[in-house]
A and B are shown apart, each in its own frame.
Chain A
Amino acid sequence: MRKRSIWTVLTMALILPCALPPLLSAQTAAAPPKSVDDTKTDKWNSVPLHGSAYAGVTPAPAPRRDLSGVWDATGDAGPNGPPAGIQPSGAYEHKALLPGVGNPPGGAPNEKGIANPLPYTPLGEATLEAHKPTGLGMRSVPATEGNDPVDICDPPGFPRMDLSEFRILEIVQTEDHVLILNQFFRTWRTIWTDGRELPTDPEPRFYGYSVGKWVDDYTLVVNTVGMSDRTWIDNAGRPHSSELKVEERYHRVDQDHLELTVTIDDPKMYTQPWLALNKFPLRRQPRGFDIRENYCSPSDYLEYNDQVGQPLDAHPAK
């Protein structure tokens, strides 16, 4: 018995040094991550992954009828402006910018000359001109002359939730509904997938009433009505009436990629439906991603406006 133990120990002693180097090198060499879930992120207040994190990854196929995960809409910061999902100059497909002017001085009365104009009705055009945005578009006005409801911390509402400050969202699915949890304002929407019909003549809500239907195993189509006409569609002040209908098409391309297409249909304000987002890319974040707050706090706004907003826009002393 004892002899056998010695032989075992001796054999192990001989084998181990041979086996260890490959084991060690496998641990120390930087093996390319196989999934974005292998990418290291901060445990708290996680920062969304840069596009390069996806470069070496071959994503798994899309799971069937499943959108769940934490998704990043910010994309990569371009050389001339903020990341894509933030949309400071209006809905991504219809930015209120003149061609070749990436950083406009603002002050234009209307959107004449934009690259991809919107089909306004006369009421739509008049309502647009009554809305005074303060962001980065061609119609932007000084803060003290603006009337953007979000500037005073009113809820952005839907569909503005998809069309401005669109950064991180978490999608949670249950048996009969889908929850979309949005970073900006920490808001959520419930999308019923239990087959119910949309309400007729509903009480207006900031975020409307939504139902969703899988049109194939990878595409959920969401229809939303009943949005309060106090909200704007985007940062450029695009208007809507209470007759607004929005269709969102969430298409899961693969495990790590989701595309969102948003169609605006409001016959009072627009002569035809228009695409606000067209296959807009969302990237899945690693498991354990912790979403940072991005609040509009009225007291922070009061402080900011007292110390920056008003003095900055005060008329110069003569």
Chain B
Amino acid sequence: MRPKLGLIALLAVCFLAGSHTLFAHHGNASYDTSKTVTVTGTVTEYHWANPHVFVKVDGKDENGNLMHWTIETQNIVTEVNAGWTKDTFKPGDQVMIDITPAKNGAPFGRFKGRIVINGQTFKSTDQR
């Protein structure tokens, strides 16, 4: 009961603070859909959860600096229909992922087609 109350209180505070809506998911407004970036690196986390599934990848940029990428896709039900599972990624996987990058230049992106996991191309398809 207590954690629940805490959560409600937190939501209420965020609501009352009112300056920004803190909870949201993204359409295109935050992404530069004209660009494609290829992220190569090692999976550190895989979040199989709503509202959007996301994966974290550590990789180096062209100057050799370590980058912590966060790459999101749609909700679980949509991804299941596209052939994804809770086990599609696991920490330690070597991946190459094409992304639509964030407009603000932060290391965030959205899946944009090509996914290679440990040398195998993962085909995201409509499984229904």
Q: What residues of chain A have their CB less than 8 Å away from a CB belonging to chain B?
A: 45, 47-50, 74, 76-77, 82-83, 86, 88, 103-107, 133-137, 140-148, 151-153, 167, 183, 292, 294-305, 307-316
Provide the residues of chain B in CB contact with A47, threshold 8 Å. 80-81, 127-128
Interface centre among A49, A140, A305, A313 (most CB of B within 10 A): A313
Q: How far is the CA of A148 from the CA of B26 in the complex (A)?
A: 11
Q: Please, how many angstroms separate the alpha-carbon atoms of A144 and B17 in the complex?
A: 13
Report if A312-B26 is in contact (Cβ < 8 Å); known contacts: A45-B80, A144-B21, A304-B52.
yes
The answer to whether A305 touches B126 (Cβ under 8 A) is no
Whether A82 touches B20, Cβ cut-off 8 Å, given contacts A49-B128, A313-B30, is no
Find chain B residues with CB under 8 A from A49 CB. Answer: 128
B26 touches A142 (CB 8 A): yes
A-B contact pairs, 25 of them (CB 8 A): A47-B81, A77-B128, A103-B28, A104-B28, A105-B28, A107-B29, A134-B25, A141-B29, A142-B29, A145-B20, A146-B24, A151-B21, A152-B22, A292-B77, A296-B51, A298-B23, A301-B50, A301-B51, A304-B47, A304-B50, A304-B51, A307-B47, A307-B70, A311-B70, A312-B30
Q: Which of A50, A137, A295 contacts B128 (CB 8 A)?
A: A50
**Is B72 an interface residue, CB under 8 A from the partner?**
yes
**B23 near A294: Cβ-Cβ < 8 Å:** no
Q: Check B7 for interface membership: any CB of A closer than 8 A.
A: yes
State whether A136 touches B28 (Cβ < 8 A): yes
Q: Which residues of A contact B33 (CB under 8 A)?
A: 103, 105
Contact (A82, B30) CB under 8 Å given A134-B24, A304-B52, A312-B104: no
